[in-house]
């Protein structure tokens, strides 16, 4: 059994340290801005100046999760990121083109994907298992499955999360490649969770299972049916599907495939980035925990939510959450 005991998200919604944020959801537009906390509450001012946006988000969400879960430190830190620290990567590449002679190593050191998990570990003074997963649009799911394996190996609590940042170059590339669906909608975001093998008075929902298929021509419907059957369920047992494709698939087609089950596209609320499925998992957790019925046709009770992450029918991630009283 796996349980989610704490969630923290920085996004284009007012989701950070805001219990009622799912009642205030707004569609992301060209004018939407990332809503960030006062990072000085989580990071020393001297260290803060040297940190890029993605590191700041990761540390703030991690510390917030630990505070919510009322633990001293997790038994593992696992992070998924699609593109890693883009700001520092761009800075390093710029230095290689503009500086003659020896290049300052700081930007290179901070540009690697595992910098996020490493900086969180340093901030928490945590010396436990530390891992980074970067598998394109399935990075968060792989981090989550790694966390589940850690719990199977008798760790008590794991910090699992994801972070990705957008830079101006990504917007330029989206225009150059004529990616009209995601043009001007590329965003940044971070979501972290405390996942445990034991339920307590802080537990929000139960995490049933997570599964991925990458770079494969798979029949999505057959894959979903098999995934649910493995957990002794069928589509009739699912109350809501939270869907994301980063602009590669049409929502109306997915709605027809799952009819009469309600389907909600959460990418409209968080924008497009490779690990936005973590935002979806936080949203699903709050819907189940707060028994929100406004997302369901006829306001039916919500007991189980399927997170369906499908990038162009090639990378498919499935995550199943269940209410505690289901």
Mean pLDDT computed over every residue of the chain: 93
* Dihedral angle, C-alpha 41, 58, 281, 137, nearest 10 °: 160
The lowest-confidence range among 96-100, 150-154, 188-192 is: 96-100
For 277-312, write each residue's pLDDT tens digit: 999 999 999 999 988 877 777 778 899 999 999 998
Please report the pLDDT score of residue 326 as a whole number: 65
Q: Report the Cα 309 to chain-centroid distance in Å.
A: 11
Structure token digits, residue 190: 């971070």
For 140-149, write each residue's pLDDT tens digit: 999 999 999 9
The lowest-confidence range among 65-69, 167-171, 316-320 is: 167-171
If one counts every other C-beta atom within 10 angstroms of the C-beta of residue 142, the result is 22
d(CA 207, CA 226): 18
Question: What percentage of the chain reaches a pLDDT higher than 70?
Answer: 98
For 27-79, write each residue's pLDDT tens digit: 998 889 999 999 999 999 888 988 999 999 999 999 999 999 999 999 999 99
CATH of range 2-196; options 3.40.47.10, 3.40.630.30, 1.10.357.10, 3.40.50.880? 3.40.47.10
Question: What percentage of the chain reaches a pLDDT higher than 90?
Answer: 79
Structure token digits, residue 280: 């979806």
**Sheet (strand 205-213) strand order:** 129-133, 76-80, 157-164, 189-196, 2-10, 205-213, 315-322, 304-311, 240-244, 262-265
Q: Is the pLDDT of residue 222 over 90?
A: yes
Q: Mean pLDDT, to the nearest integer, of 211-218? A: 87
Whether a cis peptide bond, with omega within 30° of 0, leads into 260 is: yes
pLDDT confidence tier of residue 180, bands split at 50, 70 and 90: low
pLDDT confidence tier of residue 178, bands split at 50, 70 and 90: low
Domain ranges of the chain: 2-196, 207-322
Number of residues in the chain = 326
d(CA 220, CA 65): 33
Q: Mean pLDDT, to the nearest integer, of 128-147? A: 97
Task: Name which CATH class applies to 207-322.
Answer: alpha beta
Please report the pLDDT score of residue 60 as a whole number: 98
d(CA 270, CA 205): 22
């Amino acid at each position: 059994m796996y349980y989610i005991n704490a969630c923290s998200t920085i996004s284009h919604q007012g989701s950070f340290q805001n219990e009622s944020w799912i009642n205030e959801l707004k569609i992301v537009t060209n004018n939407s801005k990332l809503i960030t906390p006062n990072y000085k509450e989580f990071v020393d001012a001297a260290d803060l100046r040297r940190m890029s946006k993605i590191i700041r988000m990761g540390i703030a969400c991690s510390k917030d999760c630990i505070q919510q879960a009322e633990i001293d430190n997790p038994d593992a830190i696992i992070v998924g990121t699609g593109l890693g620290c883009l700001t520092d990567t761009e800075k390093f590449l710029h230095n290689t083109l503009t500086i003659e002679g020896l290049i300052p190593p700081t930007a290179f050191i901070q540009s690697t994907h595992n910098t996020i998990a490493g900086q969180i570990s340093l901030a928490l003074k945590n010396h436990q298992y530390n891992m980074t997963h970067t598998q394109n649009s399935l990075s968060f799911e792989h981090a989550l499955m790694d966390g589940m394996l850690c719990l199977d190996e008798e760790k008590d609590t794991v910090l699992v999360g994801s972070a990705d940042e957008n830079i101006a170059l990504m917007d330029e590339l989206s225009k150059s490649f004529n990616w009209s669906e995601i043009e001007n909608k590329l965003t940044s975001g971070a979501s972290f969770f405390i996942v445990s093998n034991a339920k307590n008075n802080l537990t929000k929902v139960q995490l049933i299972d997570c599964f991925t298929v990458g770079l494969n021509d798979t029949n999505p419907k057959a894959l979903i049916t098999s995934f649910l059957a493995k957990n002794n369920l069928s589509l009739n047992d699912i109350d809501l599907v939270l869907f994301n494709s980063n602009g590669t698939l049409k929502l109306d087609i997915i709605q027809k495939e799952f009819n009469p089950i309600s389907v909600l596209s959460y990418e409209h609320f968080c924008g497009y980035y490779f690990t936005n499925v973590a935002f979806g998992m936080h949203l699903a957790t709050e819907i189940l925990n707060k028994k929100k019925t406004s997302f369901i046709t006829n306001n039916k009770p919500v007991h189980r939510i399927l997170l369906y992450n499908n990038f162009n029918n090639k990378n498919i991630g499935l995550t199943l959450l269940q209410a505690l009283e289901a």
